[in-house]
């Protein structure tokens, strides 16, 4: 998969990235992604962080499936992990998941895989 996005594979057809911008959604679609999950709560770092609404609008404009599952960076509950596992099963792949650094999204992928 060729792209200029700062991504890394974490599971078959599942990639993780740090914070993405609305502009990155067209690049993600161009790179062949079909779905995006945002795990970062709005305003986690203040007003300079792109909002979920702006990223979601850009994702839909680019033809991507998009879901917002905001989770805390330090703790992901069993319910959040189960919800994430459900999204992994339902959304078309390849799938791109992001948060601030990519770490909590990676933890969610690993925790969801452990539920199988």
Sign of the CA dihedral 39, 90, 65, 23? positive
In a domain, 22, yes or no: yes
pLDDT at 5: 78
Whether 88 is covered by a domain: the verdict is yes
Q: What is the mean pLDDT of residues 88-99?
A: 97
Report the DSSP beta bridge partners of residue 37.
67, 97
Number of domains within the chain:
1
Residue 2 lies in a domain: no
16-31 pLDDT, tens digit each: 999 999 999 999 999 9
The CATH number that applies at residue 88 is 3.90.190.10
Neighbours of 39 (CB within 10 A): 27
Q: Is residue 37 part of a domain?
A: yes
| Residue 3, domain member (yes or no) | no
Left if phi > 0, otherwise alpha if psi is -120 to 50, otherwise beta: which for 32?
Answer: left
Q: Which domain holds residue 16?
A: 8-115
The answer to the question of residue 99 being in a domain is: yes
Tokens linked to 86:
């459900």
Q: Does the predicted model carry a pTM greater than 0.85?
A: yes
Residue 24 lies in a domain: yes
């Amino acid at each position: 998969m060729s792209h200029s996005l700062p991504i890394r594979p974490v599971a078959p057809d599942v990639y993780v990235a740090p914070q993405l911008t609305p502009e990155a959604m067209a690049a993600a679609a161009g790179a062949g992604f079909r779905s995006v999950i945002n795990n970062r709560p709005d305003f986690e770092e203040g007003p300079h962080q792109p909002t979920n609404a702006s990223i979601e609008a850009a994702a839909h404009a680019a033809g991507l499936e998009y879901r917002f599952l905001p989770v805390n960076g330090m703790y992901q509950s069993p319910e959040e992990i189960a919800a994430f596992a459900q999204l992994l099963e339902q959304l078309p792949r390849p799938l791109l998941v992001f948060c601030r650094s990519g770490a909590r999204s990676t933890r969610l992928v690993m925790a969801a895989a452990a539920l199988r």
